[in-house]
């Protein structure tokens, strides 16, 4: 694009969105070496495993799959994989997706009895001509691919579900920060290639059959190897309504830094979601240059950042300064 046209495009976008200054890739500092970011404190363990996979010669796609598998396999994590909190009828139903540097993606939604939905999503991507499988079909496919059927409801989650059911009856779930800690991960390898993954048991006490943003390409996760990647956590309905992660990547394409892009989409969601103060939505983003961003509606969202051999949990800035 010639410079005048590019200037006009960025100006027009800026006037629509209220953001006046942009950082272009040409001006941005390139951060060397592999970088892995993932949502919440649980991301620390996922990042460690993901980095180990890269160090052992795995691809960036292997890294984002095996990294989040650690959390899916943890029965004490209430929002991902085995031990995930059930829906209103007591069923654990999982959503996940994965996307690689070749713009390929795979997804499963409303999957029961398989603790690693992100790995099933990868099989959908690699072994079928489709992107997304749901419910019974996803389960049948997973079993055909050699995944083991397991009981995902643990004694602890069953007890917690019984208690909560008495408290809230069949009402929709409380929309709060504890109800959502999906793990989303974006990684860039030493060659600069990007992949991402996202996996969750979704909102606790959700209606049976509800699917959130996490398996929806462009909502819970989006990766464009020319630009960067983004992943979402929080109230999935609000993220889907705004095509959240795709929009974060699109803003980065138009010159926003990852931080600016995350902030702008969180603000857009807050502008459009009537009851926005009562929900949590957060994004993480990583661009091709290795810059990172994170932002949420409510205070308390953290993310894990692995770079240069150091892995640390960082607080994201937020629109509301209270949790
Ligand atoms: N972000 C996860 C969900 O809403 O299901």
Instruction: Mark residue 142 as left, alpha or beta (left: phi above 0; alpha: psi -120 to 50; beta: remaining).
Output: alpha
Greatest alpha-carbon span in the chain: 63
- Determine the distance separating the centroid of ligand 1 and the alpha carbon of 291, expressed in angstroms: 25
**Alpha-carbon gap, residue 133 to 262, rounded angstroms:** 29
**Alpha-carbon gap, residue 81 to 85, rounded angstroms:** 9
Which of 197, 213, 216, 297 for a ligand 1 pocket mutation test, highest count of atoms within 8 Å of Cβ?
213
**So what's the pLDDT on residue 35?**
98
Position 281 pLDDT exceeds 80 = yes
Position 110 pLDDT exceeds 60 = yes
Average pLDDT over residues 89-99: 97
**Alpha-carbon gap, residue 157 to 59, rounded angstroms:** 34
User: Residue 302: CB within 6 Å of ligand 1?
Assistant: no
With pLDDT > 70 as the criterion, what percentage of the chain qualifies? 87
Which atom of ligand 1 is least distant from the CA of 233?
Answer: 1
CATH topology (fold) of 26-318: 3.60.20
Condensed to tens digits (0 to 9), the pLDDT of residues 197-252 reads 999 999 989 999 999 999 999 999 999 999 999 999 999 999 999 999 999 999 99
User: Residue 213: CB within 6 Å of ligand 1?
Assistant: yes
Position 323 pLDDT exceeds 70 = no
**So what's the pLDDT on residue 19?**
37
**Alpha-carbon gap, residue 236 to 199, rounded angstroms:** 12
Which of 202, 245, 266 for a ligand 1 pocket mutation test, highest count of atoms within 8 Å of Cβ?
202
- Determine the distance separating the centroid of ligand 1 and the alpha carbon of 214, expressed in angstroms: 6
Most confident of 101-105, 168-172, 275-279: 101-105
Position 262 pLDDT exceeds 70 = yes
**So what's the pLDDT on residue 17?**
39
User: Residue 259: CB within 6 Å of ligand 1?
Assistant: no
* 18 — pLDDT class (breaks 50, 70, 90): very low
User: Residue 79: CB within 6 Å of ligand 1?
Assistant: no
* 65 — pLDDT class (breaks 50, 70, 90): very high
Position 9 pLDDT exceeds 80 = no
Which of 118, 177, 180 for a ligand 1 pocket mutation test, highest count of atoms within 8 Å of Cβ?
180
* 178 — pLDDT class (breaks 50, 70, 90): low
Is pTM beyond 0.75 here? Answer: yes
Condensed to tens digits (0 to 9), the pLDDT of residues 122-153 reads 999 999 999 999 999 999 999 999 999 999 99
**So what's the pLDDT on residue 107?**
98
Helix H, strand E, coil C: the string for the chain is: CCHHHHHHHHHHHHHHHCCCCCCCCCCCCCCCCCEEEEECCCHHHHHHHHHHHHHCCCCHHHHHHHHHHHHHCCCCCCCCCCCCCCCCCCCCCEEEEEECCCCCEEEEEEECCCCCHHHHHHHHHHHCCCCEEEHHHHHHHHHHCCCCCCCCCCHHHHHHHHHHHHHHCCCCCCCCHHHCCCEEEEEECCCCCEEEEEEECCCCCCCCCCCCCCCCECCCEEEECCCEEEEEEECHHHHHHCCHHHHHHHHHHCCCCHHHHHHHHHHHHHHHCCCHHHCCEEEEEEECCCCEEEEECCCCCEEEEEECCEEEEEECEECCCCC
**So what's the pLDDT on residue 8?**
36
Most confident of 7-16, 63-72, 170-179: 63-72
| Residue partners of 23: CB distance under 8 A and separation at least 6 | 255, 256, 257, 260
Tell which wins on pLDDT, 27 or 54: 54
Average pLDDT over residues 297-301: 94
**Range in 76-85, 243-252, 256-265 with the lowest mean pLDDT:** 76-85
Position 83 pLDDT exceeds 50 = yes
User: Residue 236: CB within 6 Å of ligand 1?
Assistant: yes
Q: Whose CA is nearest to atom 5 of ligand 1?
A: 202
């Amino acid at each position: 694009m010639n410079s005048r046209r590019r200037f006009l495009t960025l100006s027009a976008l800026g006037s629509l969105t209220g953001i006046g200054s942009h950082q272009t890739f040409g001006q941005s500092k390139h951060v060397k070496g592999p970088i892995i970011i993932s949502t919440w404190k649980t991301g620390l363990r996922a990042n460690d495993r993901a980095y180990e996979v890269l160090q052992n010669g795995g691809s960036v796609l292997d890294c984002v799959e095996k990294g989040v598998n650690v959390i899916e396999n943890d029965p004490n994590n209430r929002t991902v994989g085995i031990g995930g909190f059930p829906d209103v009828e007591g069923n654990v139903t999982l959503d996940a997706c994965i996307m690689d540097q070749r713009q390929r993606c795979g997804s499963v939604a409303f999957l029961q009895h398989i603790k690693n939905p992100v790995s099933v999503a990868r099989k959908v991507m690699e072994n079928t001509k489709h992107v997304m499988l749901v419910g019974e079909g996803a389960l049948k496919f997973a079993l055909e691919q050699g995944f083991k059927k397991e009981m995902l409801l643990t004694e602890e989650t069953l007890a917690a579900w019984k208690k909560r059911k008495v408290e809230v009856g069949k009402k929709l779930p409380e929309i709060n920060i504890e109800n959502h800690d999906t793990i989303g991960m974006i990684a860039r390898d030493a060659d600069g290639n990007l992949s991402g993954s996202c996996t969750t048991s979704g909102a606790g006490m959700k209606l049976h059959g509800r699917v959130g943003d996490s398996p929806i390409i462009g909502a819970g996760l989006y990766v464009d190897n020319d630009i960067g990647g983004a992943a979402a956590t929080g109230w999935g309905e609000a993220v889907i309504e705004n095509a959240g992660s795709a929009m974060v990547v699109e803003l980065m394409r138009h010159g926003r830094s990852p931080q600016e892009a995350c902030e702008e989409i969180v603000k857009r969601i807050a502008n459009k979601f009537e009851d926005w103060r009562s929900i949590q939505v957060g994004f993480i983003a990583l661009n091709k240059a290795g810059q990172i961003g994170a932002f949420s509606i409510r205070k308390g969202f953290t993310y894990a950042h692995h770079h240069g051999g150091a892995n640390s949990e960082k607080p994201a800035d937020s629109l509301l300064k209270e949790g």
